[in-house]
Amino acid sequence: MKKLIYIIGLLLISLTFLSCGKTPKIFQGTVTAYDSSSKILAVKNEKSPYDELSFSLHDADVGGEPAIGDLVRLSYLEEAGKLAVLRVMNLGHQSELKKK
């Protein structure tokens, strides 16, 4: 009986870890381009190697409309070769909201 409980416990723990989804990645930088019609955002990394990436905002939770020059922090997943944003935090707009 103890062996059965032990096996069930291991199965439950294994299923818990397997059911967890992918962990989003974080990217922070300056907006270099934004196309609101296609919902594509280009951001230049604020840290070396200062690469510029394009992100899809189709299903993203956007805190404030991004504009060129804004500092943003993105949480995203890579799906089928595309960078799909989950959430956009516009850090420039955050400081403006704190002043109100």
Distance CA 28, CA 19 (A): 28
Q: What is the pLDDT of residue 20?
A: 66
35 occurs within a structural domain: yes
The domain spanning residue 44 has which CATH number? 2.40.50.320
12 occurs within a structural domain: no
Mean pLDDT for 24-45 is 94
Q: What's this model's pTM, rounded to 2 decimal places?
A: 0.70
Number of domains in the chain: 1
Domain span at residue 40?
23-99
- Tens-place pLDDT, residues 55-100: 999 989 987 789 999 999 999 999 888 999 999 998 876 655 555 5
Assess whether pLDDT exceeds 60 at residue 2: yes
9 occurs within a structural domain: no
SS (H, E, C) 1-59: CHHHHHHHHHHHHHHHHHHCCCCCEEEEEEEEEEECCCCEEEEEECCCCCCEEEEECCC
At 42, the pLDDT band (50, 70, 90 cuts) reads: very high
Q: Report how far apart, in Å, the C-alpha atoms of 72 and of each of 16, 30, 33, 83 are.
A: 33, 6, 12, 15
